[in-house]
Structure 1
Amino acid sequence: MSSIADNLGSVTRRIQKATLQAGREPDSVKLLAVSKTRSPEELREAVTAGQRAFGENYLQEALDKIAALDDLTDIDWHFIGPIQSNKTRQIASAFSWVHSVDRLKVARRLSEQRESGLPPLNICLQVNINNEQSKSGCQPEDLPELVSEISQLPGLTLRGLMAIPDPEQAESALRASFRKLTNTLKELRQKYPEAGPLDTLSMGMSGDLEMAIAEGATWVRIGTAVFGERPSKS
C-alpha cells in the first residue's frame, strides 16, 4: 500500500507533467489536498511530506482538525463545501480561502464577519457549469452582477471561479466544461479589471486533473489520489 508521501509525490509529478505539456509556467498550478473524512493523523503525515493546502467540505469536521493541528502554523485551510448562512462566521474566521461562494448574501456575511486583524479572505465563485439541479453554484449568467457587487465588499479578495463539472460526461464534453469556465473568467477579467486579481480557476480532481490543467486550472482539488480510497461506511 502506498503511503501518503508516495501518493503526493505521484500527484505532484502528474501536475508537473501536465503543466509542462500545456506550455504553462512550472509553478502555475497548485495542489489542494481534499481532506474531508480524513483524520488529523493523515493530514499530519501529508504536512510532513510537504503538503500545506487542505480543502475541507464539512465545517465542524474541519474545525476539529484545525484545533487538533494547531501546532502546525503554516497550514493553508480552504473551505470547498456548500455554505449555510448560519455557518459563515466560523468560516470567515478559520479559513484563508473559500471556493464555494455562490450568492451575494453569503459573500456579504463573510465580509462582515471577517475579523479586521486577518488578511482579506480569498474567495472563488462556484459556478454550476453544467446546470445540474443536484449541485450548488450560481448560473454563469448571474456572474457579472455577483462580481460587480462582491468586488466592492471589504475583507474579501475575489480570486476567481470554481466548478465541479459532471464527471459522467463524455471526455469532449468535460473538456468543454473546463474551457467554458476558463473563457468565462477571461471575460470577467476584461469586463471588471477593478474587481480583483481574478487569477484563479479551481477545477479538476483525481481523475481529470490533466485535462483541467490543459484548459487552465490553477488549483486542482485532489482527494483520492493523495489519501487513497475512503473506507466504506458501515
Structure 2
Amino acid sequence: MPTDSTPSIADALDRVRDRIAQAAQAANRDPADITLVAVSKTKPVDRVRDALDHGQRDFGENYLQDALAKIGALTEREPLWHFIGDIQSNKTRDIASNFAWAHAIDRFKIARRLSDQRPEGLAPLNLCIQVNIDGEASKSGLAPDAVVELADQIVELDHVRLRGLMTIPAPRDDEAGQRKPFAALRDLMQRLNDRGHALDTLSMGMSTDLEAAIAEGATHVRVGTDIFGARDH
C-alpha cells in the first residue's frame, strides 16, 4: 500500500497523463495520438495490476523472465506488452509468442528470427529500429546512416511489421538541447517514408524528457520512474 510519501499508481498515472496532454497541446497535437508505455520492468505484478485498474494498457519490459511471469499472471486482463530491451537470439521465441511490440531492433538476424517464430494466428509483431542517435559507445542501436539498409530488409519479412524508430538520447539539461536528437529521429523517419516506407511510430521520450519528445513528434513515450517510482532491485 502506498504511504503518505509514496503516491499511488493512480495519482502517478494521472500526473504523467496531464504532462502528456499539456505537451501535446503546446505542440498542437492530439494527446490521443500519443501512447503512454508504462515501463514496469522489475516491478511486481500487483503494481502492474494497479495500473491496469486505472486504465493503463501498454507496458514495457526489459527482462524476459520477469516479464513472462507477469504476462502469465495477467492473461485475463489483456494488457499490451512491449519488449523494450536488447534482444538476444535465445529470447526471440518467447518474445515473438508473448509481445505485441519490440522496440530495440538493431540486427536483421533478430528481426528474421522474430518473424519466423511468430505463432500463426497472431497479428504481425510490431517492430521499431533502435537508432543510436548520439553515437554513444555505451548504447545499443544503429548509426543513423545504417538504418535504411535494415529497414529495407525488415519489410520483406512476413510476420513482423516495421512501424518506426526508437532512440534513447544522451541526457541533456535543457529542453532545446533535448529536442535536437528527437528532431533528428523524426527527420530520419521522414527520409525512410520518402523511400516508400509507411512508418508511423517514433518511440522516444522518458520521464525526464517526454515534453521535448512530444514536441518533436513522439508517438510512444516510455515512462517508468514517474509512474512506479525508483527501480526495484
Normalising by structure 1, what TM-score? 0.94
Q: Find 1:11's aligned residue among 12, 16, 19.
A: 16
SS of the residue corresponding to residue 71 of structure 1 reads helix
Percent same amino acid at aligned positions? 54
* Residue 205 (structure 2) pairs with residue 204 (structure 1): yes
Stretches of structure 2 lacking an aligned partner (at least 5 in a row): 1-5
How many residues align structurally?
228
Structure 1 residues 159-178: aligned runs within 5 Å: 159-168=163-172, 171-178=175-182
Normalising by structure 2, what TM-score? 0.95
Q: 1:226 to 1:130 in 2, by over 3 A?
A: same
Residues 145-193 of structure 1: CA deviation (Å, up to 9, x unaligned): 11111001000111000000011466443211111001000110111x2
1:88 matched residue in structure 2: 92
Q: Find 2:37's aligned residue among 29, 32, 37.
A: 32
Q: Over aligned residue pairs, what C-alpha RMSD do you find?
A: 1.2
Stretches of structure 1 lacking an aligned partner (at least 5 in a row): none
Q: 1:151 to 1:169 in 2, by over 3 A?
A: farther
Output the CA distance in 2 between the equivalents of 1:160 and 1:226.
Answer: 25
Query: Could you tell me how far 1:26 is from its partner in structure 2?
Result: 3.2
Segments of 4+ in structure 1 off by > 3 A?
168-173
Output the CA distance in 2 between the equivalents of 1:25 and 1:83.
Answer: 32
Amino acid at match of 2:116: E
Q: 1:188 to 1:169 in 2, by over 3 A?
A: farther
Query: Could you tell me how far 1:104 is from its partner in structure 2?
Result: 0.6
Q: Find 2:115's aligned residue among 111, 120, 124.
A: 111
Residues 3-60 of structure 1: CA deviation (Å, up to 9, x unaligned): 0000001100110110011011231111000000100000000000110000000111
2:158 matched residue in structure 1: 154
Preserved CA contact (<8 Å) 2:108 2:153: yes
1:79 matched residue in structure 2: 83
Q: Find 1:51's aligned residue among 23, 48, 56.
A: 56
SS of the residue corresponding to residue 27 of structure 1 reads helix
Output the CA distance in 2 between the equivalents of 1:85 and 1:134.
Answer: 21
Query: Could you tell me how far 1:117 is from its partner in structure 2?
Result: 1.1
